[in-house]
Amino acid sequence: MKKNRKAERFDDFARVICSELCIVSGVLTDISEDGFKAEFNAPCNVDSEKEYSVQLRLSRVNAEPLELLVRPMWSKFSDGKTSIGFYILHSKDTSRLEKYIKMLKDDKISENERNIISYDTESLFI
């Protein structure tokens, strides 16, 4: 499913806070410039026609939470959990989100470059 998306998605972790949707905070599972997926360990009252204000408390950076305006694109309730796919609308923290996504891209490139290096454990240098 991730391959059919316009923007590259990154696996990440953040606390998702939206009291209008759910009494408990959720967990972000992936994110892109356009949207993110979150899971809540409770039923949520999702209205796909409504815009919601959410806060993302990112785990990789120690900063104020991102405040984003989002619209739910889909939701699924299963095994006591609600999964929701959000589309991110232009928000107060759009520029901060773009910087964060760039950081995730750079981290992924660095990780891929490290995986290219071959380590020869048989050779000994004298």
- Tell me the CATH number at 91: 2.40.10.220
65 pLDDT exceeds 60? yes
126 pLDDT exceeds 80? no
Q: Using alpha carbons only, what angle is made at residue 8 by residues 1 and 107, rounded to the nearest 5 degrees?
A: 130
> Higher pLDDT residue, 3 or 1?
3
Assign 8 a pLDDT band (cuts: 50, 70, 90).
confident
Position 74 in a domain: yes
- Residue 31 belongs to what domain range? 2-104
Q: What is the pLDDT of residue 1?
A: 43
Q: What is the pLDDT of residue 88?
A: 96
- Mean per-residue pLDDT for 26-53? 94
Position 13 in a domain: yes
**95-107: buried (b, 16+ CB within 10 Å) or exposed (e) per residue?**
ebbeebbeebeee
> What is the residue type of 57?
R
Q: How far apart are CA 52 and CA 35, in angstroms?
A: 13
Position 56 in a domain: yes
105 pLDDT exceeds 90? no
- Joined tokens for residue 110: 């660095």
For the stretch 68-88, pLDDT in tens is: 999 999 999 999 999 999 999
> How many structural domains comprise the chain?
1
Nearest partner of 47 among 25, 74, 23, 28, judged by Cα: 74
Position 53 in a domain: yes
Q: What is the pLDDT of residue 21?
A: 93
The region that residue 79 occupies, defined by phi over 0 for left and psi between -120 and 50 for alpha, beta otherwise, is: left
Q: What is the pLDDT of residue 3?
A: 55
The answer to whether 14 touches 25, Cβ cutoff 8 Å, is no
Q: What is the pLDDT of residue 62?
A: 77
Q: What is the pLDDT of residue 95?
A: 93
Position 119 in a domain: no
